[in-house]
Amino acid sequence: MIVLMHAEASDEQVDVVVGRITSRGLEALRLPGGDHVAIGVASAIRPEERPELESALRALPGVAHVAHVSRPYKLASREFHAASSVVEVAGAAFGGPGCVVIAGPCAVESYPQILASAQAVRSAGASLLRGGAFKPRTSPYSFQGLQLEGLEMMKAAGAEAGIGTVTEVIDAHDVETVCAYVDMLQIGARNMQNFPLLIAAGRSGHPVLLKRGPGATLDEFLFAAEYVLSQGSSRVVLCERGVHPLDRTYMRNTLDLNAVPILKDISHLPVIVDPSHGIGQARYVPAMALAAVAAGADGLIVEVHPNPSEALSDGSQSLTPAAFADLMQRLPAVAQAVGRGA
């Protein structure tokens, strides 16, 4: 069970709710929100006790809403928030009627490269520009990103091309800095369970694109989202990007499209799909991008590079601007076929 307080509820009113819960021998969990405080009942409530407790709590001053939430992640669950959430970022609405496309290179490499990417993806119809300035690489000898300089290029390119920006943050201490440069933070697959990072991102209030770890169950994924939400943020977008594959000969990961309808059923958060990391080869990316939209994804994040053969990271899975424009032309028919505006 979860109790959502009105935005203007006083600390005393919160204390009364907590007291009412603990007086029954149940554990109360304070979930400090940006605007609203929520109080979760952490212990199991006997079914016969539930209706009475619910009406007692509902009657207390300052209480806005009481919901039954049987899932352990409360704020991320659809039981808590029945309506699908819409997360707005720089004019794009994830979870709205349209399909939001984020596109751009794996990494920011130079100003001409990120500007050309921004212009190409924007003119093809993408809503947001992606590009990593801090790159989490398997090898310490691989390109690690341009870091602060990359953030500056990202911001300037987004402004020049007139498109919002998304970039990855890999260290909790960098969250504030990264927020100053981009419209949305990405938390990458490798950091899905970096709890201090999730907390710092949640506290920032900035929209968060949270990628699923390659070995994470859907419950673990939603617990990670819960970390962000529990800090008062309500702007989390989930991203399926592929799980460890059975066959590494042909694919980098296995894009788990099962996750899309399941996550949308058990959570109210928008769900997007990354077909680039999901399959790992540019020529297969469009098919999986279209499949993701057919499965009900609220959007896509696609790697696009002006010259993939010269990319410093993930060139082999990056679309050329022409291939991306072609994909964007084909998306509306699939979106409309599954009842979604283009």
**Binding stretches for ligand PEP (CB under 6 A):** 106, 132, 136, 188-190, 211, 241, 274, 277
User: What is the rounded distance in angstroms from the CA atom of residue 65 to the CA atom of residue 284?
Assistant: 46
Q: Does 274 bind Mn ion (CB under 5 A)?
A: no
Q: Which of 4, 39, 106, 260 binds Mn ion (CB under 5 A)?
A: 106
Measured from the CB of residue 107, what is the shortest distance to ligand PEP in angstroms? 7
**103 alpha carbon, distance to own chain's centre:** 15
User: Rounded to the nearest whole angstrom, what is the least distance from the CB of residue 235 to ligand PEP in the complex?
Assistant: 19
Which letter, b or e, does each residue of 166-180 get, where b requires 16 or more Cβ atoms within 10 Å of its Cβ? bbbbbebebbeebbe
**Residue 188 site contact among Mn ion, ligand PEP, none (CB < 5 to 8 Å, cut-off depends on kind):** ligand PEP
Between 298 and 314, name the residue whose CB sits nearer to Mn ion: 314
CB of 318 to Mn ion, least distance (A): 8
- The residue number with the shortest CB distance to Mn ion is 106
Shortest gap between Cβ of 296 and ligand PEP (angstroms)? 20
CB of 313 to Mn ion, least distance (A): 6
Please, which residues bridge with residue 16 across strands? none
Residues 6+ apart with CB under 8 A from 17: 3, 5, 28, 39, 57, 60, 62, 63
**Collapsed DSSP state (helix, strand, coil) of residue 77:** strand
189 binds, among ligand PEP, Mn ion, none (CB under 5 to 8 A by kind): ligand PEP
* Helical axes 321-337 vs 285-294, angle rounded to 10°: 20
Judged by CB, which is closer to ligand PEP: 85, or 194? 194
C-alpha 123/C-alpha 304 separation (Å) is: 13
Tell me whether residue 77 or residue 253 sits nearer to ligand PEP (CB atom): 253
Residue 228 · residue 201 · CB < 8 Å: yes
CA distance 270 to 274: 14
Of 210 and 222, CB closest to ligand PEP: 210
Q: Which stretch binds Mn ion (CB under 5 A): 49-57, 99-107, 180-188, 232-240?
A: 99-107
Interface with Mn ion includes 168 (CB under 5 A)? no
One of 201, 314, 318, 328 touching Mn ion (CB under 5 A): 314
First CA to last CA distance, the chain:
38
The CB density around residue 105, as the number of other CB atoms within 10 Å, is 28
Point out which residues bind Mn ion (CB under 5 A).
Answer: 106, 314
